[in-house]
Structure 1
Amino acid sequence: MDNAKEHGTPQHSPYRLQLLGPVAAWREGRTVDLGPPLQRAALCVLAVRAGRIITKDTLIGGLWGDRPPNTAEQSIYTYIAGLRRVLEAEPGRRGPYSTLISRSRGYVLERGTVEADVGDFERHLAEARRLQATGDPRGVLRALEAATECWSGPALCGVPGPFAEAERVRLEELRLTAMEDRAGALLDLDLHQEAVTTLTELVAEAPLRERTRDLLMLALYRSGRQADALDTYLDVKRLLAERLGVDPGEALRERYELILRADPSLDPAQSETTPGGTQPRPPRQLPRAATGFVGRVEELVRLRSLLTPWDGGVPQAVVAITGAPGTGKSALAVQAAHTAAHAFPDGQLYVNLLGATPGVERLEPIGVLGRLLRALGLEGKAVPSEEDEAAAVLRDRLDGRRTLILLDDAAGPEQVRSLLDLPSGNTVLITSRESFSMADDCVRLVLRRMRRSEGVTVLSKLVGAERISADPAAVSHLVELCGGLPLALRLAAARLGERPDWSVRDLGGRLEDRRRTLHELEAGQIAVRSSLELSYEALARGGALDRLAARTLCHLGVLPVASVTADVVAALVGEPADAAERALDRLVRAHLLETGEVGRYQPHDLVRLFTIELANTHLTPQSRKDALMRALGFYGATTRHASTLLDPHRVHSPWPDVPQRPLALGTPAEARAWLNKELPHVISAASQAMASEDDEIARLGAYVGFALIWELTRGTHLREHLSLSRQALKVGERIGDQEILPLAHMQLMWALIAVNRPAEALPHQEAELGLRRAQGDRFGEMRALGNLGLVHLHLERYAEARECTEAQRVIAREIGSQVGERHSLLTGGSACLGLGEMSAAIALLGEAVTLAEAAGDHYHECDGLLTLARIYLERGEPLTAQRHLDRALSHARELSHVKNECEAFIMLARAHRLLRAPEPALACALEALAIGQRSGDEHLCRQAEDELREIGEAFPVWRSRRRASRRMR
């Protein structure tokens, strides 16, 4: 048979490449010899990323991972030369080349020179998604059948290397999803029995996929087989419990309940969902439109023409609403988005980018992409960690759809660059203070001051037409004084509402006086500042609550955090929490603060800047310092208390004698909830304090950072941990504080160990040990010795590690430190393991685990169990290792210790692999990889990826499946 016909070789491309099966190539119908396996692997890397520069390092990593041979670079040259011999039109020449081209940073396989079945497969998938959006199930079925026809066996079969392994996993997931979508299309066409046949085969191939089971249950039920549908659920419930120790997901449980009671919604005529009745409704994330929105008529008409063109054409790809602060960009964008929502049936998404929020870190592009992908239904663990990859997945998800994405408060084009190239039919609506004139395919709408007539309308709407119409000249003048800015107009209207005895002319006179003091500022900012200052002074001259609210507003400018609670403000102002809460609520009513989630308050961006000015002008330097010290005292004391509740066995750094008492947290759950919400604010406050030139403020900021050590060590804030530790060391060195210096060295050691840089950690731990000995601090010396042993352990200096831990144990027993003794046993056991002394390692670790269990120290118990499990895995006893790992995983989750949880999953994956259980092995390895990616720990990610590679090599079985080739009736 002619291979070109069999594999669909196109006439316009001389080469046809098969990747969805045994890797092979044809040129004009004749088979091409692609060379040895690693040369084929290099071609796969280039072909999958055709048109993009692939660096030499990328090729080496794709073929050998992080352990390439010494000859790797020369081998790459050899493989490129070999590929050119078979791919170039005139083989044997020394260039110039037209197919596989050299670039300064690597190589490029030109687009269009090689046609691959992967491209056909993905094009058919995109066509299916497009047809799905238009409600054409027959077209969807045809496209998905064409997609599955592209496969001839396991993807990249016979190709070695990490890239091939990762690509196999990705393509296999796409194939299984396509088969599920095909079954969903059959259900939509009432071809229930055909769906049952397809899904039964798919369940045999992938028995733990819950969506497959869900569709099969629905297909069986609609085929009149209710009992079989229920049995399908019970079967997967048993499998999940046996292999993974988990229950079915919520969707599967709901399907079971519906089938159990024969709910009418399961009938095809009653189903309002898409493919197979499983697709959730599109996201609707837009904030509520302002009920009192007036004005901006021309801008709204312009936006409507861009978002919903009169001729029915595709909407504008990118629209940016730009302008000065306070011009009402966000309100206009939300209003326009609601008006055009009907033209975007596949969803409306919203993200506040925090681009111009003073003192608050803006969202990173990868964070924005992650939020959007999760809103579109992608599971968190499936969201890529690299910006380019995540942007590609988003484009893939939106292909053939109509979706509106509102990105509020962008710092500039660079923050959203990866979102400006979405498929046609989707629109990105952006608000920003920065110019978007250089953004591609972007229409800018520059929002300027309101017209006088619109400003009058705004005041009339907010204050009342009768009062406004009484003095038209004064109203016009008031609009001018407010600079035509909606924020200023709204605040002026609020003041008139609070003071019914004032005329519009009275308020105008007050604003006019304030303008003279701000003559150097821009007109728009003059009006906003005037309104804000007027509102503040009205509170300052009011009753007791108003005066407390005014004082609170002043003090908010002292603390540089994104949002506050009443408890924090109580410390800041020096008042009881209930009084602080009443003052905050009064500021909300005065439109000077906003509320987000319950119990949290934040100022508008311009108000935030105004509070800083208030603090500098209305509080003395000593008052500002006292307020900040009180807030830092509260943050540090509560952080320390919460950490103690979560793990009472950990030794905390000394805490200075401050009058602030910690928040009354009663349970570990309350402590965890407080830390989860306040951690970014505590980090920000500590960092800002350590940057202060005032030694007392900087010193207390360092101690707040020390209070965070256990939360940072067990969590995912690696960058913040490193930054705070370095700041603390600088503070200690600057002021010569002999208490801060050893603590800072120790904390910096922990931070460097967390990012896998033990060589840099060593001098800091040696410095701490020297300081502790010079101070005669026996407990400090004992702990420093233990930590030094830990650093040696990470450096694989096992003899030195054991020597340190033995010295630590002597002092620990001398001073009666049980936690120190447990630490020495754990580190000593690991050192013996590194030295190959298995029996000694097991004895030391077993003693440590026994002591930790008796003391209720789950942190040390978890550490010991993990190391014992590692030993038993090395000894070929996976069942014993699994029992230890199950206990360790439970403790790690209880403690929210991300690193230990990830390591437990990695070793569980290995244990299941050794027990020849591929499904739970893969599930555990994927969970470990997801945890590693969320934490940003590259070392953990590499370990998880290595285990995934081992699993792939251990179970290379491709179960036979029936090709989906039925034709439509």
Structure 2
Amino acid sequence: MYSPCRLRMLGPLAAWRDGRSVDLGPPLQRAALCVLAAQTGQVVTKEALIGGLWGERPPNTAEQSVYTYIAGLRRILEPKSSRRGSYSVLLSRSGGYVLAHGPIEVDVEDFERHLAEARRLDVDGDPRGCLRALDAAVGSWSGPALCGVPGPFAEAERARLEELRLSAREDRADVLLHLNLHQEAASALTELVGEAPLRERARALLMLALYRCGRQADALHTYMDVKRLLAERLGVDPGRTLRERYELILRADPSLTPTGERAAGPDARSPRTPRQLPRAVNCFVGRAEEMVRLRSLLAPWDGAPPQAVVAITGAPGAGKSALAVHAAHAAVHAFPDGQLYVNLLGATPGVEWLKPIDVLGRLLRALGLPGEAVPADADEAAAMLRDRLEGRRTLILLDDAAGPEQVRPLLGLPAGTSVLITSRESFAVIDDCVQFVLGSMLRSEAVTVLAKLVGAERIAADPAAGRLADLCGGLPLALRLAAARLLDRPQWTPTELVDRLEDRRRTLHELEAGQTAVRSSLELSYESLARGASALDRSAARVLCHLGLLHVADVTAHVVAALVDEPADAAERALDRLVRAHLLEPASTGRFRMHDLVRLYTIELADTRLAPEARAGALLRALGFYGATARRASSVLDPHRVQLPWPAVPQRPLALTSPAEARNWLEDELANVVAAASQALVSEDEEIARMGVRVGFALYWQLSRGAHRREHLRLSRQALAVGERAGDLELMSLAHGQLATALLQIGRAADAMPHQRAELELRRELKDRFGEMRALGNLAATHVTLKQYARARECTETQRTIAREIGSDVGERHSLLIGGRACEGLGDVAEAISLMSEGLALAQAAEDRYQESAALVMLAKLHLDRDDALTAKTHLERGLRCAIEIGHRAYECRSLTLLARAHRLLGDPEQALACARRALPIAQSYGDEELREVEAELRAIQPVFPCADSARPFPAHLTLVR
């Protein structure tokens, strides 16, 4: 009996008979089959065939070509036993041809049959049956319809079928909503809107699904997004249905909630109420008038909503933060839903203040939102914050704002929430804001502060206490510093301290002038140390003078030892002395930070007390220590990685002996080393700038391992500018290579290519064979990313030749791995596996975990593509261990993502989901490409995840807010 032929049109055109693929011939012959198959059992005229294949302007040979294609199709479709002229599948009729029903089975007919069944079940009131029929209809597809088929008919039929597919997916989501499966509907619609962003029905359904999941802000953002797209692409506004849905969601209309159900998505859980206010100062006194008014604004006596925004501004040292914290504690009863606190670092010299998106992220996490769900866009995050605070009475204290622009995205919050801000800048331009300009304390209040800090008996016994308060200008910081002097000198009376202050008439005048008061008090403390009788005091003063040279967030004794060219234990004793003098604060074990105002003073102190050559020498020593230790840490963590050239410096690196010690140092100090390198790179001193380049190069492997792409890109660009300014070919070549790598890591391979070629040319000009070999390897990787596989293969072959010539084992292994990727791209899978396997064997023999991890990931992907999930899983488990061992986040993410795929293919969705969820936060911090791959895998896991009767259904895990 002759078996029917199964024809697939809902995807790449293909046919099977008896489980074997059937070759349908050249493209236009395949197009002719599609015209006939779309109208099985009906006569298709020759004119219709010609029009469907060529349109209105067919070639002169069109009719003869049709005969040829019909003959070819008959050879394929007709039974072998058919006599010539006796056809049972493709029949000739007057003026045309007919494709018989029975011998040909077409998936389009199955799809349309399922759709008809779904419509019938919907009318009959059977939503679950309707859902099953729609699932079957959507499951009929395996890709874009008539993929690869040419001609006007195929184009029109593609559009028709695609419209049916999208409508079916919308119908399916509508049924899910009817069944109260809101999270499943939201996931399906998010994917659909990503494919077809202008479909208004899909948008309206997504808005409803998100709203019912408790994500009102996301629902509103969906509307604003389509409104923008419609305006940009079509110049029209959203339709009536979308506009009405937006209005209903905006006012949380009860009609949107399903009958008998409270919308409860993953955001509906009540997190622990945040209580983040810092401890109030024990010795807080005075500011009575300000406290009364602040309390009336934050906790009105008549029960009215609190003031939306309150700003406390004034000069440095006026006590803005202390007043804000004290007032917040006094009004805490008025904010039962929580009190949040963020230090914005707005006036921290040499340290970058927090960006609005970072502040929004902290607030959202404090309110219970998982870190991976915090949006990356500031406007979206602000909308989500407003949604979270709706109906709550919450106080947000934003300390030390750089100015109105830093906090503007955090304003406009719902009634009941109050934002209390401290800043040195005016906030008069902010709407709905009450501003306090904080001046000096009353004399009586200032004396009380001194009495609380120093002791009431000691202050009361000396009539000069009032004069001391006057000389401090009534500024709390100056008062605290003066009190610290008295506490450190118990033999002194207030009169003696007053005498010292009055000896410096000009400084006292500045002390009374607001901001200069802090400088005068700090200078007094410095002079006390510098002229002290003990060597420790003088050493502490010298350290304080040098701290202003290095613009980093905190320091250790070893860094300071390099700055002042002293042993580390002596530097540590000096730092401890500065802590006792209240000029430094202990940040954590072995780390010290300066108060913002002290930092400003030390910068001025270094400029005035140190000669230019002394400043340059100290900065070079600190940079030398940072760079040498960074190289040492990278070598300990991964001894096989080739370090970029480093100048001979006298500074000895820390004695890091274990990978754990190396990893901890790099993680703790990375931000400081990046800041120091950036500071040096913009220096006008060429020697300092060159050292900044080398320090940046010393961080290469850590920046790459830890996915610090922004820092890598910035340092690389600055390094290239220094090299070009100096005309140094060596620096230029290295910087071009670094910049190319940084661009490649952020997905800008085309932009990386010119820099990669420039590095190769410079290396050849310098006759540096090792540098040429490395540049060829990096160029090959760039070619692979750009899918220029033949060129990549040429580069790796040349690289391997040079690597063997100069004895570079690591270069040879690199050439094998990248060469394998090139062969994979060229379709030579056997050669790809051979090269990668050889590279893996060499890496394992050398115990090179980095290249071993890379090789295992590459091989695993090849095996997965060949449906060998078990072998891939074995490779990936080993590769993951290697990646974690060396701290390489990119390979860790890639291994987890592919491991999720392997587990899914092996029928273990629980393990697949666990791996994907581990990969997700890494991908979110790493880049868009990695995130897309993880999200795709999560979507692939969803259909096979056994969420029925589960206490934690799959959709609760899959909250992918970007």
TM range (shorter): 0.7 to 0.9
2:482 aligned to which of 482, 492, 513: 492
Distance 1:521 1:772, change over 3 A: farther
SS at match of 1:107: coil
1:370 maps to 2:500: no
Cα separation, 2, equivalents of 1:100 and 1:487: 52
Deviates most, 360-369 or 940-949:
940-949
* Contact 2:634 2:702 (8 Å CA) reproduced: yes
- 1:96-135 maps to which residues of 2 (within 5 A)? 103=231, 107-108=237-238, 114-115=244-245, 119=249
Indicate the residue corresponding to 1:744 in structure 2.
735
Indicate the residue corresponding to 1:541 in structure 2.
531
Cα separation, 2, equivalents of 1:537 and 1:323: 27
SS at match of 2:514: helix
* Contact 1:41 1:63 (8 Å CA) reproduced: no
1:434 maps to 2:425: yes
Cα separation, 1, equivalents of 2:950 and 2:537: 74
SS at match of 1:596: strand
1:532 maps to 2:522: yes
Distance 1:298 1:80, change over 3 A: closer
1:147 maps to 2:252: no
Distance 1:881 1:121, change over 3 A: farther
AA matched with 1:475: A
- 1:684-695 maps to which residues of 2 (within 5 A)? 684-695=675-686
Cα separation, 1, equivalents of 2:520 and 2:318: 15
1:348 maps to 2:478: no
> Shift of residue 498 of structure 1?
2.7
> Shift of residue 380 of structure 1?
2.0
Cα separation, 1, equivalents of 2:947 and 2:338: 38
SS at match of 1:523: coil
Indicate the residue corresponding to 1:651 in structure 2.
642
Cα separation, 2, equivalents of 1:329 and 1:339: 15
Distance 1:666 1:107, change over 3 A: farther
Cα separation, 2, equivalents of 1:875 and 1:634: 50
- 1:609-624 maps to which residues of 2 (within 5 A)? 609-624=600-615
SS at match of 1:854: helix
SS at match of 2:328: helix
> Shift of residue 948 of structure 1?
3.8
* Contact 2:713 2:742 (8 Å CA) reproduced: yes
Cα separation, 2, equivalents of 1:781 and 1:840: 25
- 1:163-202 maps to which residues of 2 (within 5 A)? 175=265
* Contact 1:38 1:63 (8 Å CA) reproduced: no
- 1:20-39 maps to which residues of 2 (within 5 A)? 38=166
2:377 aligned to which of 386, 389, 406: 386
SS at match of 2:765: helix
- 1:624-663 maps to which residues of 2 (within 5 A)? 624-663=615-654
Asked which structure has the greater CA Rg, the reply is 2
Superimposed CA distance per residue, residues 613-645 of structure 1 (whole angstroms, 9 cap, x where no aligned partner)? 111111111111111011001100111111111
* Contact 1:459 1:489 (8 Å CA) reproduced: yes
* Contact 2:357 2:376 (8 Å CA) reproduced: yes
1:409 maps to 2:400: yes
* Contact 1:515 1:527 (8 Å CA) reproduced: no
> Shift of residue 520 of structure 1?
8.0
Q: Output the TM-score relative to the length of structure 2.
A: 0.73
AA matched with 2:525: S
Cα separation, 1, equivalents of 2:583 and 2:267: 50
Deviates most, 660-669 or 435-444:
435-444
* Contact 1:772 1:781 (8 Å CA) reproduced: yes
Cα separation, 2, equivalents of 1:792 and 1:446: 60
1:900 maps to 2:896: no
SS at match of 1:291: coil
> Shift of residue 459 of structure 1?
1.6
1:730 maps to 2:860: no
2:774 aligned to which of 778, 783, 796: 783
AA matched with 1:670: E
* Contact 1:536 1:550 (8 Å CA) reproduced: yes
Indicate the residue corresponding to 2:697 in structure 1.
706
Structure 2 unaligned regions, length at least 5: 1-121, 124-130, 136-162, 174-188, 205-225, 952-962
Distance 1:301 1:519, change over 3 A: closer
Cα separation, 1, equivalents of 2:847 and 2:418: 56
Cα separation, 2, equivalents of 1:106 and 1:597: 58
> Shift of residue 815 of structure 1?
2.0
Deviates most, 116-125 or 463-472:
116-125
Deviates most, 730-739 or 580-589:
730-739
Superimposed CA distance per residue, residues 39-64 of structure 1 (whole angstroms, 9 cap, x where no aligned partner)? 7989999xxxxxxxxxxxxxxx9787
Structure 1 unaligned regions, length at least 5: 1-5, 8-18, 24-34, 46-60, 82-98, 127-142, 151-173, 182-278, 963-969
Identity %: 62
1:361 maps to 2:352: yes
Distance 1:806 1:452, change over 3 A: same
> Shift of residue 311 of structure 1?
2.6
SS at match of 1:861: helix
Superimposed CA distance per residue, residues 740-778 of structure 1 (whole angstroms, 9 cap, x where no aligned partner)? 222111111111111111122122222222222222222
Indicate the residue corresponding to 2:905 in structure 1.
914
Indicate the residue corresponding to 2:594 in structure 1.
603
Superimposed CA distance per residue, residues 108-143 of structure 1 (whole angstroms, 9 cap, x where no aligned partner)? 4679953489949977899xxxxxxxxxxxxxxxx9
AA matched with 1:792: H
Distance 1:107 1:680, change over 3 A: farther
* Contact 1:892 1:900 (8 Å CA) reproduced: yes
Distance 1:362 1:848, change over 3 A: same
SS at match of 1:114: helix
SS at match of 2:729: coil
Superimposed CA distance per residue, residues 60-81 of structure 1 (whole angstroms, 9 cap, x where no aligned partner)? x97878888xxx9xx8799999
Cα separation, 1, equivalents of 2:476 and 2:598: 14
SS at match of 2:435: strand
AA matched with 2:488: E
* Contact 1:511 1:531 (8 Å CA) reproduced: no
AA matched with 1:534: L
SS at match of 1:893: helix
Cα separation, 1, equivalents of 2:343 and 2:247: 40
SS at match of 1:428: strand
2:804 aligned to which of 803, 809, 813: 813
1:516 maps to 2:506: yes
AA matched with 1:794: T
Indicate the residue corresponding to 2:831 in structure 1.
840
Cα separation, 2, equivalents of 1:792 and 1:820: 17
SS at match of 2:279: coil
SS at match of 1:322: strand
Residues paired across the two proteins, number = 761
SS at match of 1:739: helix
1:507 maps to 2:637: no
2:441 aligned to which of 450, 461, 484: 450
